[in-house]
Each structure stands twice: as structure tokens, then as C-alpha cells.
Amino acid sequence: MDVLEQLENILNKAKVDITNVTSLEKLEQLKIKYLGRKSEISSILKSLGKLAQDIRPIVGKKSNEVKREITALLEKRNQELLESIFTRLETDEKIDITEPGEKVKIGHTHPITQMRIEVEDIFTSMGFSIMSGPEIELEYYNFEALNIPKDHPARDMQDTIWTKDGNLLRTHTSCVQIRTMEKFRPPIRVIAPGRVFRYEETDASHEHTFYQVEGLMIDKDISVSNLIAVMKTMLKEVFHRDVKVRLRPGYFPFVEPGFELDINCLICGGEGCPVCKYSGWVELLPCGLVHPNVLRAGNIDPEEYSGFAFGMGLDRLVMMRYEINDIRLFHSGDLRFLEQF
């Protein structure tokens, strides 16, 4: 078989292969086979110098003609395959742009997080800073530095979750008081929002995991009147209205004197319900003047400085605002509940 006949056979075979190819990937393989550096046509062109002088121009011309024809066949088939792909997509994945689109659901913050942000804004507007501390706490910061030694009966009131290494899940954010006093000198105005843990049975008004905001102000000549003024401002901003409150004596080892600030139950209006344990009042905010022993634990001289502290549950603030009658709903993961906020 002479070279010209070989080129004709290459062209005929290429026509059959290109016509029958069904994918762009295989078409690319045919392009390499017939036009690549190791193709038969390339080999023929490389061997032109070995041919008789009178046949070289004829073979060279024929080789280039075959290459151009094969190139044209490849381009035509490539276009056909592309069109077939888009035709199939139009049939299989047809999109009617006149149809209304699907509404994209946009998430939002949890109601407790919303309340936390709002409370932070209220206190920062009054000159308070925001502090944080570890949730797995040392016994010293959770109890001893807060005037609760190992033999103190108040430890029985703190249903504590202990870790195997002798640490604990903090039962309040009051621990941040000491850490703040160790780090900063008076005057001090801080709040410490965060998650706390109690080893107790849950019901409509109690959870094993909930959120608190601890507040602390230390300066010269701080009194109960300063405490009352800050608390009234905070409650009015949170509930956007005047709220009926009562202040009664309460015992907390880290304050002296100590108080319980209760608010009239906003769920039942004082008539009595499971949230307020049918008393008409909800214990919202324990508070008082910082105990001298706590000031000393924070390396602050109680003869020179005084202060007040308070702690409140963010969960209960949300319950009172939106008249929610079961604290367990917050951590239930029920979107029917959460999507209301």
C-alpha cells in the first residue's frame, strides 16, 4: 500500500469513528488519535525526507488536506454533541422562569440570644463593660472566693455537676466577679452573661442548663440606692414598661445585705400559674452589696471601696416578656416554637 492510499484509508476510518462518537470525552481522544504528535499523519509528515523527491510534494499536500478534513469533521461533531447536551438539559431540567421561586428561609438568633444582646446594649449604655469566664470552673472561683467555704451550708443549695478531675460546671456567673477584680482596679462596672449548669430535676420553671447575667459595680461610696436605680432602669428598658416589683431580704453568702428582687408575674398578672408557682410573683433577680470577704478575695480593700452585685436569668426575662409558661421550650429544638421570635 502506497502512502497516498494509506492517507485515504486514514481519512475514511476517521469519518466512521467521528460520526459514531457519542461523547465529548471520546471525541477528544479521536482528535489525539488522528491529529496528535504520535498519529499516523504526523508519522507520514516526519518521513517525507525518505520519499522520492518527485512524490514528496504530492504526499505533503495530501497529508495536509486529510488533516484539514479531519479537523473540520471533529469541529462539526463537537458542535453537534454540544447542541445535543443542551437539548437534553432543556428537556430533562427545564426551568420555567415565569414560575414563582422558592422562598429561602433565613435563620435568626435564638430568643435567649436576642435578650442577651438587648441586655448587653442596656448596660453598656450605662457605662458597663462585658466580661466572660470559663464554663468549666475551679472550685475556688465558684465557691471559696465568693465567701462559700467547703463547710458552708450554702453549698448544699448549689446542685453542682462535678468533673472527674475535681473541677465543676459553674453554677452561676458570679465566678467572673473575682476574675474581674483580680484583673482590674476600681472603679469597676461589668456584666458577665453566660451559660450555667445545675444538677436538678427540670420542670416548667427550672432547667439543668440556663443563662444568667451577673452584674458588678465597685467604687467609693456605692450604696443600695445605686443598686435600686440601676435595676429599675434595666427592668424598664427590658420590658418597655413599668413593672411591679418587690424587694425583700434574701441570704446570699457573697452579698451583705442581700435582697430578692421579684417581679409581678407577667404570665398570669399575679393571679397564680405554674411559672410563679401560684404565688403571683417570680424570683427574678437576687442582688445586694458585695460582701467584704469577696472584695478581699479580689484584692480590693473593703474599707476604701464598696459595691453591689446582681444575677438574673435571661431565660426568665424572655419568659416574662413573651408570656412563655415552660422554660424547657427554649432547648427543645422545636422550630414551631423558635420561629415565633
What residue spans define the domains of the chain?
3-92, 111-338
- In this predicted model, what pLDDT tens digit does every residue of 84-137 receive, in sequence order? 877 776 666 666 667 787 888 888 889 999 999 999 999 999 999 999 999 999
- In this predicted model, what pLDDT tens digit does every residue of 8-58 receive, in sequence order? 888 888 888 888 888 888 888 888 888 888 888 888 777 877 777 778 788
Give the bridge partners for 190, in sequence order.
129, 216
Is the pLDDT score of 67 beyond 70? yes
Per the CB < 8 A criterion, the answer to whether 25 and 56 are in contact is no
Selected residue with higher pLDDT from 300 and 283 = 300
pLDDT value at residue 285: 82
Q: Mean pLDDT over all residues of the chain?
A: 85
pLDDT value at residue 271: 84
Return d(Cα 293, Cα 250) in angstroms, integer.
18
Residue 327 is classified by DSSP as G
Among the four given CATH numbers 3.40.50.970, 3.10.180.10, 3.30.930.10, 3.30.420.10, the one describing domain 111-338: 3.30.930.10
Half-sphere exposure for 286 (CA within 13 Å, toward CB): 17
Return d(Cα 172, Cα 154) in angstroms, integer.
13
Is the pLDDT score of 60 beyond 90? no
Torsion, Cα of 216, 222, 225, 230 (10° steps)? -30
Mean pLDDT over residues 139-166, rounded? Answer: 82
Tell me the Cα Rg of the chain.
40
Per the CB < 8 A criterion, the answer to whether 287 and 231 are in contact is yes
Mean pLDDT over residues 242-261, rounded? Answer: 86
Number of CB atoms found within 10 A of residue 233's CB: 14
Selected residue with higher pLDDT from 307 and 270 = 307
Selected residue with higher pLDDT from 158 and 7 = 7
Per the CB < 8 A criterion, the answer to whether 330 and 211 are in contact is no
Return d(Cα 314, Cα 111) in angstroms, integer.
10
Mean pLDDT over residues 58-75, rounded? Answer: 84
pLDDT value at residue 154: 64
Cα 264 → chain centroid: 34
Return d(Cα 67, Cα 69) in angstroms, integer.
5
Rounded to two decimals, what is the model's pTM? 0.63
Alpha-helical segments (H) within 298-334: 314-322
Rounded-to-5 percentages of helix, strand, coil across the chain? 45, 20, 35
Mean pLDDT over residues 169-179, rounded? Answer: 91
Query: Collapsing DSSP states into helix, strand and coil, what is residue 15?
Result: helix
pLDDT value at residue 294: 93
Most distant CA atoms of the chain, gap in Å: 121
pLDDT value at residue 332: 84
